[in-house]
């Protein structure tokens, strides 16, 4: 809806009203069309200001309307009518002007922004392009290179940067609408001919072809198969090389292709999934909207290895005072230097002062006594963590939340070592903790709703996508990763190479295949866990076939590699060869290939040709199958939680929507059929056996991913 009022005698004020972000729904578009017509008709009105209700100009097209039957007036002619208007139109931008919101503002003759406003054309992150004239008007206003940057990255700019780029004409600290009303009166009666962006030529560039080629190359490299960034470049090229009407035709044609693509659906699903995970609920009935988060002004981080340092930085960045504790003096000194360095570099980038004063260091656990919340980040060893929790329970003030940054250990067992198990939750960060967006908040059976709400809220404050998950080995992310890595190793035994497997996964869109990723993370980490699980050590009974453990197929390949001292990038050798320890460029390693051949010969395995489809299906479907088990077990509340975890923490390509969304796109019946096929071929791999929930979903007609929760509820209610 759009409200019409008259201010200062002769100015029409049009206010967009569609909380929370004044998205351009059919009703809002109709409202704008009607009120603009009224303002242009009204003889007592000589100028117009367009603004948004509640301090937000406009968050763009209504994403909820995408995929539904289009109704109401379309955006393009609506914006043309504004631009063509004979009375000056000014956009008064507060809060946000994003996507269609900025395109609406670009149709106005002037733009005035509040200093705290953010502007951008983020359509690319929804698998689209700015198709209400944005791809044609913005390059005409700010030039091709700057427009390409904004449109292909979708990044938001501050009002100050928008002014510098020439997107807005004025920035104010005062009431933006008042400033806009005053300004528009000063230009009332003047010709607006020179202010209509569609009539301007695109600023010329001497090396146009080279600029576009360079950007296209960069975009194709970083897009990893995403089609929207490529279409964005093509649309801007149309702006630079074609007259405006033909450019608009091209914009429409490209948008048509994107709009109906599975990628746009996947990316829009991700947008809503990211928001849905904030609305968490627990099997106990506790929910996000009925559980109170406690304010955290002082936190303590225990253990200052890589994770502890990153967590300290992330907390300080949020404005939380932190006491960083490590009992080893040397580690403490190194951490102090590393944390200060990180904070300084980040502040330099932002152009602000580093929050060094917020971090205090101590070698004594006692320093955590008055913290509101403690995050334990010591070495991943149960006995050590138990001892830390026991001590913290005795030291900390009553009410201190005790959190563990474990990547898979039993949170409830740790809770049982404290006096107040209800205050214990897991906070599983991902390395580097001050950069990675994902936080798994692990709820034990005894974690209180307040403890979960507090950890979720703190994660949000830290800029993380926080997902509440249940307590089981590996939680969600790492539990699903295990069968995925296992399949990759089995494929090597059967005849594949690390290069083949990685190539297939990278072609799918992962930034790194499983072997390159393992080399980066360090192969010794998994080795230590397998030893702790008694999968690989001298205690394995003599005579037990080496490729069977605990009654199921087991590949000792990774263990054998580790026994050679090959831990990945850190040692310069792993599944690949690196030019030096710490080297980053993975090269094929002839040693590894002969090692695989010898291994196969020793075990009587005959290498066979494995095609790309088998690699992809076995690696991905086994991971998806575990996702269904997790849903069935109630460890994740819905498919959106799993998908958010994989997109934000495990490099799953966002334009594929996450593993569960991908399964629904492939077709659940197909996933089931392929799993059955592979399980038949490998009956000693239980992970390949299709799980009950997948079968139930297929039996109920493979509903879309948005309706799985209903099936899960029904399934559980019958237990
Ligand atoms: C476009 O414009 C296409 C055009 O070029 C032309 C086509 C022809 N629609 O994020 P929040 C909801 S494409 C519908 O938590 P924040 C959101 O789901 C669009 N709903 O708040 C949430 O709902 P709920 C280009 C929207 O303050 C609630 O608002 N625009 C939309 O952290 C609050 O959202 C974009 O890509 C929308 N456009 O951040 C901007 N936007 O409460 C997308 C938000 O039920 N939006 N919602 O969970 C954003 O980036 C952020 O929401 C924004 C506010 C920065 C605006």
pLDDT confidence of residue 717: 59
- Ligand 1: distance of its center to the CA of 247 in Å? 27
Tell me which of 222-236, 262-276, 673-687, 700-714 is least confident: 700-714
Point out the domain boundary residue: 219, 235, 251: 235
Shared domain for 202 and 329, answered yes or no, is: no
Shared domain for 379 and 435, answered yes or no, is: yes
pLDDT confidence of residue 530: 85
Strands 298-302 and 170-172: unpaired
Shared domain for 571 and 660, answered yes or no, is: no
* Closest ligand 1 atom, residue 154 Cα: 36
* Closest ligand 1 atom, residue 125 Cα: 36
- Is 266 within the bounds of a domain? no
123 is catalytic: yes
Question: Where does the pLDDT of residue 540 fall: very low under 50, low under 70, confident under 90, or very high at 90 and above?
Answer: low
- Ligand 1: distance of its center to the CA of 118 in Å? 13
Task: Pick the catalytic residue from 83, 94, 123, 640.
Answer: 123
Report which of 30, 31, 26 is spatially closest to residue 15, judged by C-alpha positions.
31
Shared domain for 89 and 193, answered yes or no, is: yes
Q: For the domain that residue 367 is a member of, what is the CATH number? A: 3.40.50.720
- Is 435 within the bounds of a domain? yes
Q: Identify the residue whose tokens are 């017509």.
A: 37
pLDDT of 692 over the 60 cut: yes
- Ligand 1: distance of its center to the CA of 249 in Å? 26
Nearest residue (CA) to ligand 1, atom 53: 59
pLDDT tens-digit profile of 179-193? Answer: 999 999 999 999 999
Report which of 88, 142, 453 is spatially closest to residue 284, judged by C-alpha positions.
453
- Among 27, 28, 32, 63, say which to mutate for ligand 1: greatest number of ligand atoms within 8 Å of CB: 63
pLDDT confidence of residue 15: 98
- CA angle 670–273–278, rounded 5-degree value: 140
pLDDT confidence of residue 659: 98
Shared domain for 188 and 72, answered yes or no, is: yes
How far CA 148 is from CA of 96, 119, 127, 142, 213, in Å, comes to: 20, 15, 16, 10, 12
- Is 548 within the bounds of a domain? yes
Q: What sign for the dihedral angle of Cα 260, 262, 263, 269?
A: positive
The secondary structure of residue 194, as a DSSP letter, is G
Query: Which pair of tokens denotes residue 294?
Result: 């406690």
* Closest ligand 1 atom, residue 126 Cα: 36
- Among 19, 20, 137, say which to mutate for ligand 1: greatest number of ligand atoms within 8 Å of CB: 20
* Closest ligand 1 atom, residue 121 Cα: 25
pLDDT of 708 over the 80 cut: yes
- Is 710 within the bounds of a domain? yes
Count of structural domains within the chain: 4
Residue 220 Cα to chain centre, angstroms: 20
Shared domain for 311 and 222, answered yes or no, is: no
- Ligand 1: distance of its center to the CA of 99 in Å? 9
Shared domain for 578 and 628, answered yes or no, is: no
pLDDT confidence of residue 450: 96
Residues 556 and 546 sit within 8 Å (Cβ to Cβ) = yes
Burial class (CB in 10 A: 0-12, 13-18, 19+), 386: middle
pLDDT tens-digit profile of 633-655? Answer: 999 999 999 999 999 999 999 99
Spell out which residues line ligand 1, taking CB within 6 angstroms: 20-21, 23, 59-64, 75, 96, 98-100, 103, 122-123, 126, 128, 130-132, 134, 275
pLDDT confidence of residue 282: 83
pLDDT confidence of residue 301: 98
Residue 304 Cα to chain centre, angstroms: 26
Point out the domain boundary residue: 568, 602, 636: 602
- Residue 489 CA to residue 298 CA, distance in Å, equals 45
Shared domain for 534 and 428, answered yes or no, is: no
Nearest residue (CA) to ligand 1, atom 24: 275
- Ligand 1: distance of its center to the CA of 258 in Å? 19
Question: pTM for the complete prediction?
Answer: 0.94
- Ligand 1: distance of its center to the CA of 22 in Å? 9
- Residue 679 CA to residue 487 CA, distance in Å, equals 12
Residues 89 and 48 sit within 8 Å (Cβ to Cβ) = yes
**Mean pLDDT of the 523-545 span:** 76
Neighbouring-strand partners of residue 429: 439
Residue 577 Cα to chain centre, angstroms: 31
- Among 59, 251, 265, say which to mutate for ligand 1: greatest number of ligand atoms within 8 Å of CB: 59
- Is 223 within the bounds of a domain? yes
Nearest residue (CA) to ligand 1, atom 5: 130
* Closest ligand 1 atom, residue 279 Cα: 48
Question: Where does the pLDDT of residue 67 fall: very low under 50, low under 70, confident under 90, or very high at 90 and above?
Answer: confident
Nearest residue (CA) to ligand 1, atom 40: 59
Shared domain for 209 and 317, answered yes or no, is: no
* Closest ligand 1 atom, residue 62 Cα: 9
- Residue 314 CA to residue 405 CA, distance in Å, equals 14
Question: Where does the pLDDT of residue 544 fall: very low under 50, low under 70, confident under 90, or very high at 90 and above?
Answer: low
- Ligand 1: distance of its center to the CA of 457 in Å? 20
422 is catalytic: no
**Mean pLDDT of the 628-637 span:** 94
Nearest residue (CA) to ligand 1, atom 45: 275
Report the b/e string of 184-223 with b at 16+ CB within 10 A.
Answer: bbebeeeebeebbbbeeebeeeeeeeebbeebbeebeeeb
- Among 60, 80, 105, say which to mutate for ligand 1: greatest number of ligand atoms within 8 Å of CB: 60
- Ligand 1: distance of its center to the CA of 62 in Å? 7
pLDDT of 172 over the 70 cut: yes
Burial class (CB in 10 A: 0-12, 13-18, 19+), 717: exposed
ipTM value greater than 0.90 = yes
- Is 269 within the bounds of a domain? no
Is the peptide bond preceding residue 145 cis, with omega within 30 degrees of 0?
no
pLDDT tens-digit profile of 231-249? Answer: 999 999 999 999 999 999 9
Q: Structural domain of residue 518, as residue ranges? A: 496-602
Question: Where does the pLDDT of residue 543 fall: very low under 50, low under 70, confident under 90, or very high at 90 and above?
Answer: low
- Is 279 within the bounds of a domain? no
Report which of 100, 97, 155 is spatially closest to residue 133, judged by C-alpha positions.
100
- Residue 323 CA to residue 367 CA, distance in Å, equals 7
Question: Where does the pLDDT of residue 433 fall: very low under 50, low under 70, confident under 90, or very high at 90 and above?
Answer: very high
- Residue 139 CA to residue 552 CA, distance in Å, equals 60
Q: What is the CA radius of gyration of the chain?
A: 28
Q: For the domain that residue 508 is a member of, what is the CATH number? A: 1.10.1040.10
pLDDT of 293 over the 50 cut: yes
pLDDT tens-digit profile of 501-524? Answer: 999 999 999 999 999 999 998 999
* Closest ligand 1 atom, residue 275 Cα: 48
* Phi and psi angles of residue 521, each rounded to the nearest 5 degrees, phi first: -75, -25
Shared domain for 9 and 51, answered yes or no, is: yes
Percent of the chain residues topping a pLDDT of 90: 91
Point out the domain boundary residue: 473, 508, 537: 473
Beta-carbon-side half-sphere exposure of residue 503 (alpha carbons within 13 Å)? 12
Shared domain for 201 and 345, answered yes or no, is: no
- Is 478 within the bounds of a domain? no
Q: For the domain that residue 106 is a member of, what is the CATH number? A: 3.90.226.10
Shared domain for 345 and 227, answered yes or no, is: no
Task: Pick the catalytic residue from 83, 103, 450, 486.
Answer: 103
Question: Where does the pLDDT of residue 70 fall: very low under 50, low under 70, confident under 90, or very high at 90 and above?
Answer: confident
Q: Please, where are the H alpha helices in 143-261?
A: 144-153, 159-165, 176-187, 208-223, 228-241, 244-259
- Residue 514 CA to residue 292 CA, distance in Å, equals 40
pLDDT confidence of residue 719: 42
Number of H helices, E strands in the chain: 28, 19
Does 167 or 537 have the greater pLDDT score? 167
Spatial CB neighbours of 474, under 8 Å, sequence gap ≥ 6: 407, 408, 480, 481, 482
Q: Mean pLDDT, the chain, as a whole number? A: 95
């Amino acid at each position: 809806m759009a409200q019409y009022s008259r201010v200062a005698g002769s100015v029409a004020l049009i206010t967009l009203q569609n909380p929370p972000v004044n998205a351009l729904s059919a009703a809002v578009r109709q409202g704008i069309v009607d009120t603009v017509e009224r303002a242009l008709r009204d003889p007592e009105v000589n100028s117009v200001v367009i603004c948004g209700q509640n301090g937000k100009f406009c968050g763009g097209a209504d994403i909820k309307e995408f995929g539904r039957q289009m109704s109401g007036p379309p955006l393009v002619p609506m914006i043309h009518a504004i631009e063509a208007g004979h009375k000056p139109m000014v956009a008064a931008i507060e809060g946000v002007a994003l996507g269609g919101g900025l395109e609406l503002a670009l149709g106005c003759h002037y733009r005035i922004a509040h200093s705290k406003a953010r502007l951008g054309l983020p359509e690319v992150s929804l698998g689209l392009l700015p198709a209400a004239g944005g791809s044609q008007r913005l390059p005409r206003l700010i030039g091709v290179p700057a427009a390409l940057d904004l449109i292909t990255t979708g990044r938001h700019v501050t009002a100050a940067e928008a002014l510098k780029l020439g997107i807005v004409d004025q920035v104010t600290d005062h009431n933006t609408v008042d400033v806009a009303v005053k300004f528009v009166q000063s230009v009332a009666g003047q010709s607006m001919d020179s202010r209509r962006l569609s009539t301007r030529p695109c600023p010329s560039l001497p090396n146009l072809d080279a600029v576009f080629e360079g950007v296209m190359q960069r975009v194709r490299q970083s897009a990893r198969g995403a089609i929207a960034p490529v279409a964005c470049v093509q649309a801007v090229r149309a702006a630079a090389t074609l007259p405006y009407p033909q450019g608009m035709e091209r914009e429409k044609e490209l948008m048509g292709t994107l709009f109906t693509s599975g990628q746009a659906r996947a990316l829009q699903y991700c947008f809503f999934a990211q928001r849905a995970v904030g609305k968490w609920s627990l099997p106990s009935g506790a929910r996000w909207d009925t559980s109170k988060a406690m304010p955290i002004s002082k936190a303590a981080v225990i253990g200052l290895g890589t994770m502890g340092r990153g967590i300290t930085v992330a907390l300080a960045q949020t404005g939380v005072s932190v006491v960083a504790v490590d009992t080893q003096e040397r580690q403490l000194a190194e951490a102090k230097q590393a944390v200060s360095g990180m904070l300084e570099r980040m502040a330099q980038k932002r152009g602000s002062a580093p929050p060094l004063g917020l971090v205090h260091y101590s070698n004594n656990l006692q320093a955590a006594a008055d913290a509101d919340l403690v995050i334990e980040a010591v070495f991943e060893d149960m006995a050590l963590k138990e001892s830390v929790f026991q001590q913290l329970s005795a030291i900390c003030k009553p009410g201190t939340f005790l959190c563990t940054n474990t990547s898979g250990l039993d949170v409830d067992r740790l809770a049982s070592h404290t006096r107040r198990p209800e205050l214990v939750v897991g906070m599983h960060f991902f390395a580097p903790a001050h950069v990675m967006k994902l936080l798994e908040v692990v709820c034990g059976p005894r974690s209180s709703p307040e403890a979960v709400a507090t950890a979720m809220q703190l994660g949000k404050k830290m800029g993380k996508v926080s997902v509440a998950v249940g307590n089981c080995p590996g939680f969600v992310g790492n539990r699903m990763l295990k069968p995925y890595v296992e399949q990759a190793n089995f494929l090597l035994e059967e005849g594949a190479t690390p290069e083949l497997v990685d190539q297939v996964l990278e072609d799918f869109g992962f930034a790194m295949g499983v072997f390159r990723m393992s080399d980066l993370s360090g192969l010794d980490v998994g080795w230590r866990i397998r030893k702790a699980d008694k999968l690989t050590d001298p205690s394995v009974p003599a005579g037990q076939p080496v490729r069977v453990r605990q009654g199921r197929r087991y590949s000792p390949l990774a263990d054998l590699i580790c026994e050679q001292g090959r831990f990945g990038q850190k040692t310069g050798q792993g599944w690949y060869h690196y030019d030096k320890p710490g080297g980053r460029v993975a090269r094929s390693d002839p040693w590894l290939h002969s090692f695989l051949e010898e291994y196969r010969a020793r075990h009587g395995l005959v290498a066979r040709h494995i095609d790309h489809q088998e690699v992809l299906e076995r690696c991905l479907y086994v991971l998806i199958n575990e996702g269904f088990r997790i849903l069935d077990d109630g460890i994740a509340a819905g498919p959106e939680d799993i998908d958010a975890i994989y997109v934000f923490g495990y490099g799953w390509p966002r334009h594929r929507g996450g593993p569960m969304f991908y399964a629904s796109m492939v077709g659940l019946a197909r996933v089931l059929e392929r799993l059955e096929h592979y399980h038949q071929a490998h009956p000693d791999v239980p992970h390949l056996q299709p799980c009950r929930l997948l079968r139930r979903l297929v039996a109920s007609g493979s509903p879309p991913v948005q309706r799985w929760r209903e099936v899960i509820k029904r399934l559980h209610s019958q237990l």
